Structure 1
Amino acid sequence: MEIIIATMPLWVAIVMLVVLQRPSQQAGLATLIAAIGSTLLFPVFRLFPGQLLLALVKGLATSLSVFYVLFPSLLLYYLLKSVDGMSLLGRGISRLVPERDLQVLLLVIGFAPFAESVSGFGVGTILVIPLFLALGYSSAQSAILGILGQMAVPWGGLAIGTVLGAEITNLDPSILGSTTALLTAPLPVVYGLVALAVSGGKKSVQRRWPEAIAAGVVLTIGVWGFSWIPGVELAGVLGSTLVMSFLVVWANRKLFHKLFHKAKRKRTVNLVNTARNSSEKTAHDSAEHGITKVSLWQVIAPYGILTAILLISRLVVPLKIWLKSHFVISIAAINLNLPLLYNPGFYLLLTALATVTILGTVVHKLRVITIQAWQQFMPGAIALACFLAASQVMQASGMIASLGMAAATLGDKYIWVAPWLAALGGWITGSNTASNALLSQLQQEVSIQSGLPLEWLMGAQNGASAHATMISPARAIIAATAVGWSGAEVFLLRQMGLVVLGAVAVIMSLLVLAIP
């Protein structure tokens, strides 16, 4: 009976989103009401009013970190959109990697994991979705492709979730990073093939399946190797950089051959002139529609600034320590620890302010742009706060612990359940870091009692939790907000649900094979 009660809020969320297809705000509110109602109606999960209020406040506190990232990213997007910058950036990507299928692989397996590894908090999704829109993909395609780009979440935010899980269980972070890479090894390849199918259908898969496999293998080998040297914190950054380098070189190898082929030299020159004329025509058309003309470098500059200052803040150790210890909003009672100068949101805000200066002509539009960003931000923010508050109520009342302890009674057979429990934690919290904080001690206790290897249990915990966050209400809301599509959360859950369930099944199968 306890298990049924403990899963009640989860079933409410699933029914509201998948069956009834209600907006995320309504689904989030219903889930929160179900969680609160369970604590009021059933003594086994009873919370006193003060405890319930504290759990709700903790959920809101957790939301602040996401809000701090989400709103500045939307502001940056609307600043660039106001000068048709996203379209210009899309054309720039098209020139760098002319073939559309390879553009998809570059963004899904390369750029999105890179952005997520540097920043975390779903920034990879937020940054990559506007690029897909600029390249001409539909809102539905862009949202799915943006979610698929979350494949490197275990190494997101310089592997903050992986490091936390290792600290809780006294594991070497490099060991945890490497076991996670091994248990999730096939998934980058799978996601690459799915991305091709989403963007171009069966023909795209038939044309570019070798490149999807190669890029996925490069990412897997990269994060596995770099988890050992130089360390798990930079594994995602360096691994995704390898992928981007590989795809850019591969995409242009035929072009290099053509440039040196005498018979086609004249045609190449004509193509360049045609492209230049097309670019000038586009700029002229933009001017006719009242859009300020900007150069490609003015659009690229904000992303370059963002990447540079994020890397500096993470890699320069004395600066990192100073940023994490100054201007910190810290309230221990509600688990709030928000370093204002270290959080990626601060650097997104700085980048947005720098963009105003770089573009120059958008200052008079700043008020309108800010209102547009706020209007897109609010619906998702409300839903996100409700889901995270519900998660905290479930944790405080013991619902999640009850589910975990029930699974732990399985003994050696627990290996069949461990990834699914981890996935549940990731789906509920929407954060690999939060899920590891929630379940790592449980995984360690099961390891002690059953004799199952802790490094493999934690690898499954880290990997399955991270991949399940891809379709969590929190991440789906972020993607829906980025694409500007109300109700996209339902669509994403329906479209991506089987993919993520399959990913967890793969992790489970590899875990069973890894443990004799």
Structure 2
Amino acid sequence: MTTILALLPLLLVLGLLASGRASALVAGLVGLSATLAASAVIVTGTRGGEVLAGLFLHETAAGSWLAWHVIAIIAAGMFFHRCQQARGAVANGGALEANPRRLWSVCFLLAPFAESVTGFGVGYIIALAALRRLGLNGMSALLLGLYSQSLVPWGALATGTTVGATLAGLTPNELGLSSALLQIPIHVLYLGLYWRFAREAGFATSFAQKVDDAIWTALLLGLLWLANRYTDVEIAGAAPTAFLLAVRFWRDERPDAARLKSALHANAPYVALTLALCATRLVPPLRDLLKPLWAMRPFEGQPAFAPLYAPGFWLVSIGIVTVWLARASLSRVLAETGRGAWRSCAVTLLFVVMAQFYVGSGMAETIAEALRAAAGRGSAMSVPMFAAVGGFLTGGGSAANAMLMPMVTALAHAITIDPAWIAAVQNSVCTNLTMLSPIRVSMGAAILALPAAESALYRRAWPLALPPLITGFAVILVLLA
């Protein structure tokens, strides 16, 4: 009975989203309400009713604090996006000729690079802006923009992978390297789906172009493995994408001095943002100064928030300068930000608090123990599903790994399966599934001002869940053999 109660909120959320009859906000409200009710019953039965009030207050506060880190990026990212709109045609850099080469560069290099540097869905914002320059709007842009999340194991300078490695007893580079190996089949499957989505968006891809795409994808995956093998995991996603992006720009655009200057001017806010974030994270004196400065950490085991180190500070600061230089109305930008960001911020809060209650109430451990008792070593097959649900609900590798990594590695030790590869499956599946998180989807719908777009997107985008899941299950089968 306890296991059924623990599973019920997850099943409700997944059923509502799959039905297409409920938005991510409604599914989050229902899921959190069911989680609170189930955890109250379980905690009262196992620990006594006297601890219920304390548990409720602690987990709500801890979940809200964890959600704040994501909400701060969503709101700041939305503000930054609106500031670029205030620049008008200059920010857009003018429309570009739409062709499959440019589309591949946006989906597999530009947007993943931005996500590797900033994280928390900022790459999605940049992807949508670039896709609109190629003439894509509506559902096609929303769908292809999800490829910004295809290298999320290294998103936000690999914070999720670092958290997961720490909890699994590995070094960040060990987990990054194994995750890079798993990313090879995941990316190959992503590429096949990309050609289908591109065709549906009106980008007919010839055989020669598919060969070109495949070669560049192989280069990306090879450099990703080398970067994880020989450099710090923090820049192992950003460095390969940045290098290939520069090479592709010279190959495809052949810019002269005037065009290069124009491109830099059109993308000046993005260049400034990238430089600021790289400097604050990769230059030791600056990083060591800002990271602890005024840092707040009210909960043990939760990430600290340093206001001058957080990406949101630089998004807002550069956005304000952009609005000032454009002589636009800051109050109008703020109002547009509020109207566009509130829904995705609310969805984030609901799902992260829900995930926190799964940990604090012991519901996650209850499900894992029931699976181990029922299936023995076969319970390892649940790891990809747990990872997928964690990434889907939280929208971030840090939160999902914090929630599930201790449980899955303990399960690996109990059933004598290599915990390092179990950790790699957990990390790879959960981070890749963040692309379908209601948090990401609702943010994209808000940016493109598409009402009730979540259910329509899920009906088209659900195959993107298959590459990480297929890879995860294949690895588990090999480990069990």
TM-score, with structure 2 as normaliser: 0.90
Residue type at the aligned position of 1:508: F
Hey, what does 1:14 align to over in structure 2? 14
Shift of 1:350: 1.4
After superposition, what is the alpha-carbon deviation per residue over 1:332-355, rounded to whole angstroms, capped at 9, x for unaligned?
279462111111111111110221
Match of 2:360 in 1: 396
- Structure 1 distance, partners of 2:416, 2:89, is 56
CA distance in 1 between counterparts of 2:196 and 2:209 reads 10
> Is contact 1:196-1:204 (8 Å) kept?
yes
Larger radius of gyration between Structure 1 and Structure 2: 1
CA contact (8 A) 1:24 1:487 kept: no
Per the alignment, residue 128 of structure 2 pairs with 129
Residues 480 and 489 in structure 1, CA contact (< 8 A), matched pair in contact too: yes
Task: Give the structure 2 partner of residue 285 of structure 1.
Answer: none
For residue 119 of structure 1, report the CA deviation from its aligned partner. 1.3
* Offset of residue 415 of structure 1: 4.2
User: Which aligned pairs between 1:443-458 and structure 2 lie closer than 5 A?
Assistant: 443-458=408-423
Q: Percent of aligned pairs with the same residue?
A: 25
Unpaired segments ≥5 residues, structure 1: 260-275, 277-294
C-alpha contact 1:109 1:188 (8 A) present in aligned 2 = no
Return the offset for 1:388.
Answer: 1.6
CA RMSD of aligned residues (A): 2.7
CA deviation vs aligned residue, 1:9-51 (integer Å, no higher than 9, x gap) = 1122123322152232222211111111212345457760221
Q: Do residues 505 (structure 1) and 455 (structure 2) align?
A: no
- The separation in 2 between residues aligned to 1:18 and 1:79, in whole angstroms, is 35
Match of 2:319 among 352, 372, 377: 352
**Are the aligned partners of 2:341 and 2:443 in contact in 1 as well (CA < 8 Å)?**
no
**Distance between the aligned counterparts of 1:85 and 1:392, measured in 2?**
43
**Residues 221, 90 of structure 1: CA spacing in aligned structure 2 closer, same or farther, 3 A cutoff?**
farther
What is aligned with 1:82? Answer: 86
Q: By how many angstroms is 1:327 displaced?
A: 1.8
The letter for the 1-side match of 2:73 is V
AA at the equivalent of 1:315: L
- Equivalent residue runs for 1:35-184 within 5 Å: 35-42=35-42, 43-44=44-45, 48-85=52-89, 88-89=92-93, 91=95, 94=96, 100-184=99-183
Note the alpha carbon deviations across 1:298-322, whole angstroms, 9 max, x for none: 4311011000000000101222122
Determine the C-alpha separation between the residues in 2 that align with 1:123 and 1:339.
18
Amino acid of the structure 2 residue aligned with 1:70:
I
2:278 maps to which residue? 311
1:46-88 Cα distance to aligned partner (Å, 9 max, x none): 7602211221222221221122112222222222213324773
Q: Distance in 2 between matches of 1:99 and 1:456?
A: 41
Distance 2:296 2:235 in 1: 27
Query: Which residue identity lines up with residue 369 of structure 1 in the other structure?
Result: V
The corresponding residue for 2:402 is: 437
| Residue type at the aligned position of 1:239 | P
1:257-272 equivalent positions in 2, closer than 5 A:
none
Once residues 328 and 182 of structure 1 are traced to their aligned partners in structure 2, the CA distance between those partners, rounded to angstroms, is 35
3-state DSSP of counterpart to 2:296: strand
> Does the 8 Å contact 1:17/1:27 carry over to 2?
yes
User: 2:294 is matched with which residue?
Assistant: 327
Counterpart residue identity of residue 172, structure 1: T
Query: Cα 1:398–1:87, aligned 2, differ >3 Å: closer, same or farther?
Result: same
Distance 1:220 1:514, change over 3 A: farther
Instruction: Indicate if the aligned counterparts of 1:219 and 1:242 stay in contact, CA closer than 8 A.
Output: no
1:79-121 superposed Cα distances (whole Å, 9 cap, x missing partner): 2213324773353xx3xxx552111111111011111111111
Q: Provide the residue aligned with 1:224 in structure 2.
A: 225
Letter in 1 for 2:295: V
Instruction: Give the distance between the partners of 2:240 and 2:480, measured in 1 at CA.
Output: 27
Q: Distance in 1 between matches of 2:53 and 2:417?
A: 40
Secondary structure of the residue aligned to 2:451 is coil
Task: Answer whether contact 2:175 2:424 (CA < 8 A) is retained.
Answer: yes
Distance 1:220 1:296, change over 3 A: closer
Task: Name which of structure 1's ranges 135-144 and 331-340 shifts more when overlaid on structure 2.
Answer: 331-340
Q: Which residue matches 1:369?
A: 333
Kindly provide the amino acid, as one letter, of the partner of residue 173 in structure 1: P
Q: Quick one: distance in 1 between partners of 2:131 and 2:149?
A: 15
In structure 2, the partner of 1:279 is none
TM-score, length of structure 1 as denominator length: 0.84
CA offset digits 1:246-265 (Å, max 9, x no partner):
4335435xx79xx9xxxxxx
SS at match of 2:304: strand
Q: Give, in whole Å, the separation in 2 of the partners of 1:119 and 1:218.
A: 23
- Please state how far the C-alpha of 1:148 moved relative to its aligned partner: 1.9
How many Å separate the matches in 1 of 2:403 and 2:135?
40
Paired with 2:206 and 2:393, the residues of 1 have a C-alpha distance of 33
